[in-house]
Amino acid sequence: MNKEIIAYQGHEGAYSHLSCRKVFPDMQPLACDSFFDAMFKVENEEAKLAMIPLENSTAGRVEEIYRQMPKTRLHIIGEHFEPVNHCLLGVPGSNIEDLKTVGSHPQALAQCHDALKALNLKPVAKLDTAGAALEVSQLKDPSHAAIASSLAAELYDLDILKQNLQDADGNTTRFLILSKTRSMPEYRPSKRFITSMMFRVRNIPAGLYKGLGGFATNNVNLVKLESYMAGGTLKRCQFHLDAVAHPDQRPMQLALQELEFFAEEVRILGTYEAHPFRTDHELIE
């Protein structure tokens, strides 16, 4: 019997691949060239789920995801927080003293900026971390390294020259788990839920302030609010919002009513259980 498929962006050994293996060990990970391709696999029912990074605690949001989400009809059914252990990888037998350049995804390079400066290494941007590791294994150049996961080192037979290269302790990436099928978990008071949505506010004075007022007056905690330009124009500003609430809770229902009065195109992306990382690290109370 074939395993169900979960799609991700990047080469084998990417942090998205690592997250797929941790969260869904019984599913078959499928590497895709781009975030769009991974999402399209789910839209086209070639994969059941997609594991997509949304933001990193050090380097910030993954901008492309905000541009792609409005173009899909996928639903968020879960989240995963992956602690990042950036490894400096070189060909077997190489050492740090011989290195001159290091390749990786721009986000990983940004997360290791100070460490690379201290090692006097020239950063070279690549499409993804695992692809950079694959390149090192193919070039066999002891002066060139990659920043990638320990899984990439295992898959491409590279030496780990340094662990935890990232500048900040607690460096973590938040992933969204996307599905074509909408899944609404039953509300239980003992559980914490996140509801994600996107919307545009009406073109009126203080429209955003008024639209969000219902969350404040109904004591609904907002843990994320991102703005980005949508539709290829500077005239339309779209927002992504995460609330610590379930749509079956009366305060959330009242807050949504007020938002819908002042906003346009309100779309609930999904409601899902808050990941334990949030409580363990006091991201929500």
| Residue that finishes a domain, picked among 179, 210, 229 | 179
> If you average pLDDT over each of 39-53, 159-173, 271-285, which comes out highest?
39-53
* pLDDT, the chain, mean: 93
Q: Are residues 239 and 273 in the same domain?
A: yes
pLDDT of residue 2: 53
Cα–Cα distance between 48 and 24 in angstroms, integer?
A: 12
Cα–Cα distance between 212 and 125 in angstroms, integer?
A: 39
Cα–Cα distance between 53 and 93 in angstroms, integer?
A: 33
pLDDT-based confidence at residue 1 (cuts at 50, 70, 90): very low
Q: Are residues 51 and 66 in the same domain?
A: yes
| SS3 category, 244 | coil
pLDDT tens sequence across 74-96: 999 999 999 989 999 999 999 99
Helix (H) or strand (E) holding 135: helix 129-139
Can 173 be counted among the known catalytic residues? yes
pLDDT-based confidence at residue 234 (cuts at 50, 70, 90): low
DSSP characters over 28-43:
EEEEESSHHHHHHHHH
CATH classification of the domain holding 259: 3.30.70.260
Q: Which of 129, 173, 195, 271 is catalytic?
A: 173
pLDDT tens sequence across 151-160: 999 999 999 9
Contact present, 29 and 21 (Cβ < 8 Å): yes
Q: Identify whether 167 is part of a domain.
A: no
CATH classification of the domain holding 112: 3.40.190.10
Q: Are residues 197 and 273 in the same domain?
A: yes
pLDDT tens sequence across 186-213: 999 999 999 999 999 888 899 999 999 9
Cα–Cα distance between 161 and 268 in angstroms, integer?
A: 45
| SS3 category, 8 | strand
Q: Are residues 157 and 220 in the same domain?
A: no
Q: Which of 175, 193, 215, 239 is catalytic?
A: 175
Cα–Cα distance between 256 and 207 in angstroms, integer?
A: 14
Domain count along the chain? 3
At 110, the amino acid letter reads A
- With a pLDDT cut of 70, the percent of the chain lying above it is 97
| Residue that finishes a domain, picked among 153, 179, 205 | 179
Q: Identify whether 257 is part of a domain.
A: yes
**Enclosing domain of residue 122:** 87-162
Answer whether residue 228 shows pLDDT above 80: yes
Q: Are residues 48 and 103 in the same domain?
A: no
Q: Identify whether 61 is part of a domain.
A: yes
Answer whether residue 232 shows pLDDT above 70: no
